[in-house]
Chain A
Amino acid sequence: MRNRLRVLRAERAWSQADLAQHLGVSRQTVNAIEVGKYDPSLPLAFKLARLFGQPIEAIFFEDEAAKAAE
């Protein structure tokens, strides 16, 4: 899975630590999600969606969808 987390975070001028604090997870978890090394659980994905005010599919998308868009 890929995601727009880095962009959404940058729009709010949040550091990874800031976002981690909002989500109640560690900075390492935020980093792992951002770089696509870890896919978050559904509850955490919903938390992210609520935090950024966007649907989950606007934040996370499959690799194939990303390739098609390119």
Chain B
Amino acid sequence: MMAAKRTTNFVACSLSALFLAGLGVGLFHDGDRFDLAQRAPTLWIALTAGVVAVSLAIGTVWMRGVDELAQRAHYVAWCWGGSFGLCVVMFLFLAAPAIAELVSFGALLEPATRAWGEAGPFMAGMLTAVVALSLGYGLWWGAYWLRKR
């Protein structure tokens, strides 16, 4: 029970720290551009790496704290749902040259370029991969949990 409480406290504190970090970054946010990324790119990259490392640590502690059925649900969801999401991403990657003949990527990615600058199209691609993986994972996790609980 003490371990569970420690885990909850750690996760709550870490999430609060991430929230405050986000709030801090938000203060440097200028209009629809990541101003700090342009003013101090090295600091921005270091900050981002730090946020990812903290998120990974939170995930690790949290995962060790949940019981084995919950862990199993996440393993299965990452394996099957994540793989499914990855297949969608690979399909989009391989089919992109043909899709470009049917759809104008320039127009499609224009909002991303407008919002995020030169890095916009690359960020949109990364975001597509993250969304596909997360969707596959989330759907698989939900189905597994509803079936097993």
Give me the interface of A with B, judged by CB distance under 8 Å.
Answer: 24-26, 28-29, 31-32, 37-38, 40-41, 44
Contact = CB atoms under 8 A, between A and B. Distances in A.
A46 to B, nearest CB: 13
A29 B147 contact: no
Interface of B: 67-70, 72, 147-149
Contact of A25 (B68, B147, B148): B68
Nearest to A41: B68
B149 A25 contact: no
B68 A37 contact: no
Contacts of A37: 147-148
B149 A31 contact: yes
Contacts of A28: 69, 148-149
A44 B72 CA distance: 13
